[in-house]
């Protein structure tokens, strides 16, 4: 791992970023391009540092102008979907750009680079930001996953998670300091990375499979949905797995067993009003909405989750439980009817 240091400026979490890398595109765990089968580092140290700089520069330009085109080639997956939709919405009602723009700074970075064969290749940047929450009183780390789909492709940020430093694990490294990626169908984990999106969305819908530890992104969210009440309105929720292509899971083995894994999901919330009433439409929803609201409004969100997955047989219950460390959702579309 490689660490670079720089100044810190505390602030608020940037609104334009709200966290998908491709771990692999086949069940075997890798895609071979141009006959490449040799296991190699996912990136060089200089490549990783340049990718982080290019992303930060593009993000700042896009956030300042509220122009999604300015960083469209530096984001992908769930982070890209959320970022691009957010910029599009804000540009609609702020055509002159972001007058409150403050440049994002990512410093004190450690690069966690896995070794693998073929493409896509990827790495994780564990970095400090000047967007610490609560006016800088709550220290956080930004974990940004970068993916490169081929030898001629650009590095793109695909996942973002914001966590306290205490929740960043030690990764399993070899003698060269390279990390170990997790196969999508890894049978040694309590839940295989390829199954996380389906398990999570089925849990939210039905309460099963019950493989997640209680928390705000699991049992708490289910309870909030169940108890949401507003006179004259009904609420319907649909959750769908999102695990193909650029939205596939990404994971790294951690010291002491288990893995740290990113995965994506999609969520719909439909609000139906009684006769004479109408769902409220805020500026972001209006900017991304198709149709016209008469008595119903459906919001579509993409979400990325960062989870700690134990090895099969760890902890309580059958195979231990998956702990959600961070959930980062973002509105990507809306429909009025």
Q: Which residue has the higher pLDDT, 167 or 39?
A: 167
Domain residues for the domain of 267 are 2-336
pLDDT tens by residue, 110-147? 999 999 888 899 999 999 999 886 665 689 999 999 99
Q: Answer yes or no: is pLDDT of 88 > 50.
A: yes
Q: Tell me the whole-structure pTM to 2 decimals.
A: 0.87
The Cα–Cα gap between 168 and 191 comes to: 20
CB contact at 8 A, 114 and 145: no
pLDDT tens by residue, 248-301? 999 999 998 999 999 999 999 999 999 999 999 999 999 999 999 999 999 999
CB contact at 8 A, 268 and 299: yes
Could you give the 3-state DSSP secondary structure of residue 244? coil
Question: Residue 15's pLDDT is what?
Answer: 40
Sheet with 2-4, strands from edge to edge, namely 2-4, 106-112, 121-129, 141-148, 156-163
Q: Answer yes or no: is pLDDT of 79 > 50.
A: yes
Torsion sign, CA atoms 152, 264, 239, 207 = positive
Q: How many domains is the chain built from?
A: 1
Q: Give Cα separations from 252 to 128, 169, 242 (angstroms).
A: 20, 10, 20
Q: Are strands 323-336 and 296-309 parallel, antiparallel or unpaired?
A: antiparallel
Q: 201: which residues sit within 8 A by CB, 6+ positions away?
A: 239, 240, 241, 265, 266, 267
Beta-bridge mates of residue 233:
230, 273
pLDDT tens by residue, 292-328? 999 999 999 999 999 999 999 865 444 589 999 999 9
Distance of CA 22 to the CA centre of its chain: 12
pLDDT tens by residue, 13-46? 334 444 333 333 333 334 444 435 788 898 999 9
pLDDT band at 1 (very low <50, low <70, confident <90, very high): low
């Amino acid at each position: 791992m490689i660490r670079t240091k720089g100044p810190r400026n505390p602030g608020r979490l940037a609104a334009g970023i709200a966290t998908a890398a491709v771990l692999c595109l086949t069940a075997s765990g890798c895609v071979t391009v141009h006959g490449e089968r040799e296991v190699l580092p996912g990136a060089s140290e200089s490549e990783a540092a340049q990718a982080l700089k290019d992303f930060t520069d593009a993000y700042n330009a896009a956030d300042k102008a509220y122009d999604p085109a300015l960083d469209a080639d530096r984001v992908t997956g769930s982070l890209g979907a959320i970022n691009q939709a957010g910029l599009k919405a804000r540009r609609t009602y702020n055509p002159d750009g972001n007058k409150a723009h403050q440049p994002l700074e990512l410093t004190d970075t450690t690069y966690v680079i896995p070794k693998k064969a073929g493409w896509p290749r990827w790495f994780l940047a564990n970095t400090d930001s000047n967007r610490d929450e609560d006016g800088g009183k709550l220290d956080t780390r930004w974990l940004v996953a970068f993916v490169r789909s081929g030898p001629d492709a650009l590095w793109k940020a695909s996942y973002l998670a914001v966590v306290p430093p205490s929740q960043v694990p030690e990764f399993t490294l070899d003698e060269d300091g390279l990390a170990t990626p997790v196969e999508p169908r890894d049978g040694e984990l309590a839940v295989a990375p390829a199954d996380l999106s389906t398990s999570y969305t089925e849990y939210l819908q039905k309460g099963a499979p019950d493989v997640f530890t209680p928390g705000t992104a699991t049992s708490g969210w289910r309870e909030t949905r169940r108890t949401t009440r507003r006179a004259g309105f009904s609420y319907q929720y649909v959750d769908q797995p999102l695990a193909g292509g650029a939205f596939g899971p990404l994971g790294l083995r951690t010291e002491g067993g288990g893995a740290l894994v990113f995965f994506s999901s999609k969520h719909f919330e439909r609000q139906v009003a009684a006769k004479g009433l109408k769902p409220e439409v805020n500026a972001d929803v209006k900017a991304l909405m198709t149709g016209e609201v008469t008595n119903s409004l459906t919001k579509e969100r993409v979400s990325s989750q960062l989870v700690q997955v134990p090895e099969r047989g760890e902890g309580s219950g059958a195979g231990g439980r998956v702990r959600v460390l961070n959930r980062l959702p973002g509105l990507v579309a809306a429909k009025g009817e």
